[in-house]
Structure 1
Amino acid sequence: MSHSRAVMVVDVGHTCRGRSMTSSESTSPASSTSTLPVRTPIPGIWSAGHPAVRPWLLRASADGDHLNGYCAGRVAEVAGLRDAMTRQAPDADVVDHAGRLLHVMCRCAGMGPTLALYPHAGAVMTAHVRRVAQLGPSAERFFIAGMLARSLGSETQRDSVGPAERWAALRRAYLALLDREDWCETARAGLVAGDGQLEWLARVAADLELKGLELRGLDTGTP
């Protein structure tokens, strides 16, 4: 099932602003003429009991922008991200959206609940790395895995992530995934195609020495 992504922009009061999601886009058989409010506080959306609420929060409430930091942790808690990732069989949209939420929570100190404060962070990340390994590579999955590996070992993001030692095993798991040849081939193809996220990752995570971001000897079509 495909779901259109909505940008989550937030202001005072943990308000979520984005495209209304019709109930036909949820897993509920409710009437497709019913929509979520475009601008509603997250706790208010959840308590309303609308059948499209949880699918929307789990699939389309964040796009990875830094402003998502005001609400990413709240979404993870309210939408039951741990259960969605560990007790159910999440589809690709849920898994990829979970990656965006985790990525944002690694850099949102001073904005909203961080990865360090999220009580289910370890369980969700363990499930995430396992699920993306099963799904296979994409340019965005490579980017998210790379940024998570970078953040989990970063001293500069301690305020959001906490002690790097806590995440050592998960960081190794993400790095092992990024070292797989099929993932490397996907990243190289993305760089050749001009994927902006992968170009950014290549610049900011050079210390990780990810071989998928090494283009020497690869014909990029440039002089």
Structure 2
Amino acid sequence: MSAPSGSAQPSRKTTFYNHALALARRYPGIPLPHAGRPYPDADRRDPRHGSDDESDFQGTRTSRLIDEYFSVPTEHRDIDRLRREIIEYDIETVLWPSIAAAIGRAEPGQARELGRYLTRTSTDQNPTVLGMAMLAAVGTEQDVPLIQTIGLLSNTFGLLASQALARLPDAATNLIWLADRTSGWGRVYLVYALCELGDRTTEPWLLRKACDGDYLNGEFAYKVACAAPVHEAIAAPDPDEALIDHTGDLISTLAWCDGMGGTLWDYEHAEHVLTHYLSHTRGLAPNPDRYRWMWSLARFLDGRPNVTPPDWATLQSLRTGYWSLLTTPPWHSIPATAANSDNERTREWAYRILDELGRRGAERRG
């Protein structure tokens, strides 16, 4: 499938919900291009948006607005005024304790009704955020389709959607549905939530689908390695190809993600997993993704990008095994072919690999 192109600027009168719903129908079952941007309010958001003067530190301003709104009798509450006030500053897209406490001081049914109304009918980002925050605090199973639809705009609403879905029934199923349709930071929040559920029904997905090749996978790779029984699954005598490949993606990410999360140095089963991953990968046909994963792990075993290699009993045999496989003719043909690619970045990647392989060969001969 070719990469989807971005959507045109939606009408100013389009609600965020209808915007997300239209894109979901246009791109069913996959992440929305550009996480659903541009939004309906893109041409009217204040250029100062996000400055310190316009921010809402840990939800203090929003919690005050919630208290003020619910402090007056129902017949005197002005939703339009609330909307006008909420768009005057930068509301953060997270359910801060102060906001959750303010929502908790309201009657749950009334807070839920307001949350649904704002989420479904708002044409500006900030009221939609407030609505989602309310659903994250007091939403019910009935709200799952609404939460998931707005959650497709994942870089903005992924965290609130994950907070909302994690506390509702069928959390694993509902979080996985949304995670399969998100990328970038939205996916990070959803994978975090899945790892923290402690629900074994999430394991097949975490073992095969959590990583999608994005750089931000480094934010959650260690959490996935700890939450899912990777070391047990890869040690099975005949694991499926999807599990083997995802294991390669996951542990090669752990080889370079220092500063983002835990790494292979922190992972207690690293030696065991690398041993079994090598054994199973020998039986697979090489392709560019598999080559990149094996390459990253071979360099890790050489002490790169770290200062020194790991202190493992099997280090030398693993190092020999990884580099030997990469230099066999079928595997070596991957960078050799890529060196003739029309894509400049692909050629540069191939040149770096072939240059390093040449230096390693010269060192051995010397």
TM-score (normalised: structure 1): 0.66
CA contact (8 A) 2:286 2:331 kept: yes
- Partner Cα distance (2:304, 2:273) in 1: 22
Matching residue of 1:26: none
Matching residue of 2:218: 69
User: SS in structure 1 opposite 2:351?
Assistant: helix
The alpha carbon displacement at 1:65 in A equals: 3.3
- Return the index of the structure with the highest Cα Rg: 2
Matching residue of 2:209: 60
Matching residue of 1:113: 262
Matching residue of 1:220: none
Structure 1 residues not aligned, in runs of 5+: 7-11, 19-33, 212-223
CA contact (8 A) 2:219 2:260 kept: yes
What residue identity is the alignment partner of 1:54? E
- Partner Cα distance (2:267, 2:275) in 1: 14
* CA-atom RMSD in angstroms: 3.3
The alpha carbon displacement at 1:185 in A equals: 2.6
User: SS in structure 2 opposite 1:111?
Assistant: coil
The alpha carbon displacement at 1:181 in A equals: 1.4
Identify the match of residue 163 of structure 1 among 284, 303, 309. 309
- Partner Cα distance (2:190, 2:298) in 1: 33
Deviations 1:173-212 (A, max 9, x none): 110101111222344334434575674253267333389x
> Greater RCO between the two (CA within 8 Å, min separation 6)?
1
Identify the match of residue 145 of structure 1 among 288, 294, 297. 294
CA contact (8 A) 1:98 1:128 kept: yes
The alpha carbon displacement at 1:71 in A equals: 1.0
Deviations 1:110-142 (A, max 9, x none): 221110110110111011111110112112111
Q: Quickly say closer, same or farther: Cα 1:192–1:155, change in 2 above 3 A.
A: closer
What residue identity is the alignment partner of 2:325? L
Matching residue of 2:323: 175
The alpha carbon displacement at 1:79 in A equals: 1.1
CA contact (8 A) 2:231 2:273 kept: yes
Identify the match of residue 189 of structure 1 among 337, 348, 356. 337
Matching residue of 1:42: 192
Q: Quickly say closer, same or farther: Cα 1:83–1:157, change in 2 above 3 A.
A: same
The alpha carbon displacement at 1:163 in A equals: 3.2
Matching residue of 1:217: none
Q: How many residues align?
A: 181
What residue identity is the alignment partner of 2:263? T
CA contact (8 A) 2:254 2:263 kept: yes
Identify the match of residue 351 of structure 2 among 202, 216, 223. 202
What residue identity is the alignment partner of 2:226? E
Deviations 1:61-114 (A, max 9, x none): 113433222210110111110111003522111111111111111122222111
Matching residue of 1:122: 271
The alpha carbon displacement at 1:44 in A equals: 4.6
- Partner Cα distance (1:127, 1:83) in 2: 10
CA contact (8 A) 2:300 2:309 kept: no
* Structure with the largest fraction of helix: 2
CA contact (8 A) 1:138 1:186 kept: yes
The alpha carbon displacement at 1:57 in A equals: 1.1
Q: Which moved more, 1:119-128 or 1:192-201?
A: 192-201
Matching residue of 1:219: none
- Partner Cα distance (1:205, 1:189) in 2: 11
Q: Quickly say closer, same or farther: Cα 1:41–1:128, change in 2 above 3 A.
A: closer
Q: Quickly say closer, same or farther: Cα 1:163–1:178, change in 2 above 3 A.
A: closer
Q: Which moved more, 1:81-90 or 1:34-43?
A: 34-43
Identity of aligned residues (%): 29
TM-score (normalised: structure 2): 0.43
User: SS in structure 2 opposite 1:134?
Assistant: coil
User: SS in structure 1 opposite 2:283?
Assistant: helix
- Partner Cα distance (1:174, 1:139) in 2: 15
What residue identity is the alignment partner of 1:128? Y
Q: Quickly say closer, same or farther: Cα 1:44–1:186, change in 2 above 3 A.
A: closer
Deviations 1:129-175 (A, max 9, x none): 111101121121112111211222135424xxx63453332121110
Structure 2 residues not aligned, in runs of 5+: 1-28, 32-93, 95-153, 156-172, 180-188, 361-366
